[in-house]
Amino acid sequence: MKKNDITKAPAATGDRTNQPEILPVYAVPRGVEFSSYTDRLIEGGSGRLLLRLPCLTPEIMMDIMHKVAENRKKYLAHLKTADIVDKIDAAVQKWLNPEYELRRQAETWLPAITDYDPEMIRLELKRFMRTFRKKELLRFLDEEFDQAAVLDEFRPRKSGGMSRAYGPESIFHVFSGNVPGLPVWSLVMGLLVKSGNIGKTSSAEPLMAVLFVRSLYEVDADLADTIAILPWKGGTSALEEPVIAAVDAVIAYGADSSVERIREQVPGSKRFLRYGSKVSMAMVGREALTADRFGETVHRLADDVSTYDQQGCLSPHAVVVEDGGAVSARQFAQLLAAELQRCEERRPRAAVSQEEALAIRRVRNQYELAALNGESVTVYSSKAGTEWTVIYHQEQGFAPSPLNRTIHVFGCTALEDAPSYIEPYRELLQTVGIAVGPERLQQLADLLGTAGVNRICAIGKMSRTPAGWHHDGRFNLLDLVRWTDIEWSAEQEAERYDPDAE
């Protein structure tokens, strides 16, 4: 092969067209210089791409941290929250234009980097960016602060005195690569509380955070200079130590093992927020299984299963299907299987690793053998490979899935029995996608909330959260800020020293 290339000696022009495009996957304040880079080749349907990664050293990291802190102090710390919202909105507006150069880059290269279906990425990215428009950001702020101006100045309190909220001077974000774009959400939080931000991207998706910072740069270069986005291999303590030492807060996303590894490095005095491993599920009531509705119900659930191949913690591992509809739980499982096959034809699952494929095989085997042993379980699965799997259980229950479009379907006589079998997953349960009538929603929600669930949404919407949701049941901005109160006494005292006082 090699020999052929040489003997052919293609013309220089031919060579040039073969050159892959080079895309830097880092964003640093102006003035930071790197002496060398490594390139990672990505090959996809849209051609070849070189991801350019800077070679990092502890010295460079210190320099970057220093510049981020300086720039923040000089600029971002003095911006009004309303101005920050406007600037983020301006960047987001760019992304809502289908012709926007960076959006097109993302749509072109994210599928090659992540192997997710291009159409799915295009759709999900667009939906995702819409949640950062001005009105959504304002809603987000209002959700957590009575008045967002507390981030700008001391504001009077109803109980007397005044308070002001201060965000961390700098935040270290450790991103995961499962869902493209998620880092944007974290960066926006950091900006809203006026922090300098440094983000470590995952090799699974190093691009989106960088592109977003480039958009901010187009809007306001000084603002973009308070952010650094860098790729490095997680666990490189020579790089992580100086960063952690320099920041006030760390936000870590991803699998428990990696989150835990970060946590061990963060001293107790610093704020540490984690968004670790969670599981979600769906519930379908008989109301959603009438002869005119079951088709749509199945379709929407299949959408929840196939979006980002269940890699986000919002995606269902299992669905509980109630008796008494026009289709039984078993038929629901069969219909879901056929629907997942259609999803596969429309938007194929991303390639999986050998370990992931084996994990699916193992689960298929487990239940298939159980069925041979007389248990009332049936495995429906894609023919060629591990593209999708539906495991039907006659008895109600919950079971985690190996993901990548594998889902359990449990029959049940009443959804209200759910607490009995979700109890063991109390600490892990996050979202429940639900399809029931209005008279049952409140009561069921209360049962689920008591059992530890922190988000209840419509099926078909499981992987899309609105602005201002309580991520993992917590506040987002409020968990980051600290407060300074001017008490009533100080105010009164101050009055006394007014030379002009009566």
Partner 1 sequence: MDFHGKSVLVTGASRGIGATIARSFGENGANVVVNFLQNEGLAGKVVEDIRAQGGEAIAIQADVTKPADVGRMAERIIDAYGSLDIVVNNALSHYSFNPKTRKTAWEIEWDDYRRQIEGSLGGAYHICKAAIPHMKQQNGGRIINIVTNLLDFPVVPYHDYTTAKSALLGYSRNLAAELGAFGITVNCVAPGLTYPTDSSRETQEEVREAIIRLTPMGRLTMPGDIAGGVLFFASDWASFITGQCLRIDGGLVMT
Partner 2 sequence: MRPESRAIVAEILQFMDRFADVGDRTSHADERLPSGTPADLELAFNELALKLFRYHFQSNPPYRKYCQARRKTPLTVREWQDIPPLPIQAFKELTLSCEPVDEAEAVFMTSGTTNADKRGKNFHPTLEVWDASMVPPFKRFVLPDRERMMIYVLSPGKDLNSNSSLSRYLSMAVEHFGTKDSRFFFKPETGLDMEELVQSLRTSELRGEPVLLMGASFSYVHLIDYCDERGIRFSLPAGSRVFDTGGLKGRSREITTSELYEAVHRVFAVNRNHCLNMYGMTELSSQMYDLTIRSCMLSGRAIHDKAGPAWVRTRVLDPDTLEPVRQGETGVLAHYDLANWNSAVAILTEDIGVQTEAGLVLQGRAEGSEARGCSLAIDQLMRANRYEKE
Whole-number Å distance between alpha carbons of 92 and 177: 21
For position 204 contacting partner 2 by CB under 8 A, the verdict is yes
Whole-number Å distance between alpha carbons of 55 and 333: 50
In whole angstroms, the minimum distance from the beta carbon of 46 to partner 1 comes to 27
Burial of 187 (0-12, 13-18, 19+ CB in 10 A): buried
Beta-carbon contacts of 396 under 8 Å, excluding residues fewer than 6 positions away, are 320, 410, 411, 412, 413, 417, 418, 421
Which one, 245 or 371, has the nearer CB to partner 2?
371
CB-facing half-sphere around the CA of 238: CA atoms within 13 A: 8
Which one, 16 or 383, has the nearer CB to partner 1?
383
**Pick from partner 1, partner 2, none: which does 337 bind, CB < 5 to 8 A by kind?**
partner 1
* Cβ-contact 203, 177 below 8 angstroms: yes
Beta-carbon contacts of 321 under 8 Å, excluding residues fewer than 6 positions away, are 284, 289, 329, 332, 333, 409, 410, 411, 412
For position 176 contacting partner 2 by CB under 8 A, the verdict is yes
In whole angstroms, the minimum distance from the beta carbon of 477 to partner 2 comes to 20
**Pick from partner 1, partner 2, none: which does 338 bind, CB < 5 to 8 A by kind?**
partner 1
Write the Ramachandran bin of 181: left for phi over 0, alpha for psi from -120 to 50, otherwise beta.
left
Write the Ramachandran bin of 168: left for phi over 0, alpha for psi from -120 to 50, otherwise beta.
beta
**Pick from partner 2, partner 1, none: which does 399 bind, CB < 5 to 8 A by kind?**
partner 2
One DSSP character per residue, 4-66 reads HHHHH---HHHHHHHSPEEEE--B--TT---S-EEEEEEEETTEEEEEEEEPP-HHHHHHHHH
* Cβ-contact 141, 81 below 8 angstroms: yes
Choose one: 288-296, 305-313, 336-344, 486-494; the region binding partner 2 (CB under 8 A): 305-313
Choose one: 123-131, 137-145, 172-180, 326-334; the region binding partner 2 (CB under 8 A): 172-180
In whole angstroms, the minimum distance from the beta carbon of 110 to partner 2 comes to 14
Which one, 240 or 339, has the nearer CB to partner 1?
339
In whole angstroms, the minimum distance from the beta carbon of 334 to partner 1 comes to 5
Burial of 155 (0-12, 13-18, 19+ CB in 10 A): middle
Q: Which two tokens stand for residue 444?
A: 């069921």
Choose one: 102-110, 134-142, 175-183, 186-194; the region binding partner 2 (CB under 8 A): 175-183
Q: Which of residues 315, 334, 389, 396 is near partner 2 by CB under 8 A?
A: 315
**Pick from partner 2, partner 1, none: which does 380 bind, CB < 5 to 8 A by kind?**
partner 1
For position 385 contacting partner 2 by CB under 8 A, the verdict is yes
**Pick from partner 2, partner 1, none: which does 356 bind, CB < 5 to 8 A by kind?**
partner 2
Which one, 186 or 406, has the nearer CB to partner 1?
406
**Pick from partner 2, partner 1, none: which does 322 bind, CB < 5 to 8 A by kind?**
none
The pair phi, psi for residue 145, each rounded to 5°, is: -120, 140
- Site residues, partner 1 (CB under 8 A): 295, 298, 331, 334-335, 337-339, 341, 378, 380
Whole-number Å distance between alpha carbons of 3 and 215: 44
For position 278 contacting partner 2 by CB under 8 A, the verdict is yes
Binding region for partner 2 (CB under 8 A): 176-179, 182, 202, 204, 253-257, 275-280, 310-315, 352-359, 361-363, 365-366, 368-370, 372-373, 384-386, 399-403, 428
